[in-house]
Structure 1
Amino acid sequence: MDWLVGNWEQKLPDGTLKETWAKENDSTFSGNSYFINTKDTVHFESIKLTQKAEELTYSATVVGQNNDEAVDFKLTSDVDNTFTFENLAHDYPQKITYKKVTSDRLIATVSGKQQGKQTQESYPMSKK
């Protein structure tokens, strides 16, 4: 997943979504995802991608959620530059997908059931 390293962003009418990724070592990547409106950080999430034996885990920690504890999502699919992580026991999302479109474009998608309805949000981002 070396292609993920760097700064990514999506500009929206109400602000900017940013993700920053770094490689810590051969088995761990760390990232931050945050949304900034005109002057405030509205959402902040720290992320770790960790390889243990044959298992790749996406761990997300969102301040103010889940007692500030990380929620783990296991890699369930790696096909055609699309990486899907799932945790069916999590309230929302249950699935996080990163699709490498080109070396400088990706689409991050979160999906699952929310309040009994299937929901999906996609975030196309460009490397900066």
Structure 2
Amino acid sequence: MKTNSVKIFLSVVIIVSVVSSWAHYSVKPIDKAMWLIGTWENKTSRGSVYESWKKINESELAGKSYAVKGTDTIVFETVKLKQEGEGLYYIPTVRNQNDGKPVSFKAYTITDYKMVFGNPEHDFPQSVSYTKVNADSLVAEISGVKNGNVRHQTFPMRRLK
């Protein structure tokens, strides 16, 4: 009787371990960012700025921020949103900044509706966040200290496609 109880107990422990391990690894941090995919618009007093995201592979999204002036597209920045191990990184390359080199921000908050990335060593911003308001609306924000002053900028966007 004891042998059967031990076998049943061990079987249950193994099954629970496998299922919880599978559940833990089935949702990767990058999976929680898939709602970004598409084209978003931020209307400003000087015209619209767009942010477009696409899936590159299972561990990376690529984004770009740009404006359209007549027939010209002016790209302000390109971004990689990349999963490395258990970490998620926001890696922008901004035109005319950082000698054209990418800067890495590590995610420290990842939920189904919000991602916050930080790099305390960067001049400005030190924090970048995306908050999903609903399926067709988000708010991007950059914040940090610049010239001794705390600053932040918000960019409300609506989904175009």
Asked if 1:12 corresponds to 2:48, the answer is: no
Q: What does 1:26-65 align with in structure 2 at a 5 Å threshold? A: 26-36=58-68, 44-65=76-97
Shift of 1:80: 5.8
Decide which moves more: 71-80 or 52-61: 71-80
Shift of 1:41: 5.9
Post-superposition Cα deviations, 1:95-117, rounded to whole Å, max 9, x if no partner, equal 00000110110000000001110
Identity %: 39
Aligned to 1:81: 113
Aligned to 1:24: 56
CA distance in structure 2 between the aligned counterparts of 1:10 and 1:115, rounded to whole angstroms: 27
Residue type of the alignment partner of 1:69: K
CA distance in structure 2 between the aligned counterparts of 1:127 and 1:19, rounded to whole angstroms: 9
Larger radius of gyration: 2
Please give the TM-score of this superposition, normalised by the length of structure 1.
Answer: 0.92
Please give the TM-score of this superposition, normalised by the length of structure 2.
Answer: 0.74
Q: Number of aligned residue pairs: give it.
A: 128
Shift of 1:86: 0.2
SS at match of 1:21: strand
Shift of 1:39: 7.7
Residue type of the alignment partner of 2:96: G
Shift of 1:38: 7.4
Determine if contact 1:15/1:38 at 8 Å carries over to the other structure: no
> Which runs of 5 or more structure 2 residues have no equivalent in the other structure?
1-32
CA distance in structure 1 between the aligned counterparts of 2:57 and 2:159, rounded to whole angstroms: 21
Asked if 1:96 corresponds to 2:128, the answer is: yes
SS at match of 1:64: coil
Decide which moves more: 113-122 or 34-43: 34-43
Aligned to 2:35: 3
Post-superposition Cα deviations, 1:48-101, rounded to whole Å, max 9, x if no partner, equal 000011000000001221111100000011246111000000000000000011
Residue type of the alignment partner of 1:115: N
Larger fraction in helix = 2
Decide which moves more: 11-20 or 115-124: 11-20
> Which runs of 5 or more structure 1 residues have no equivalent in the other structure?
none
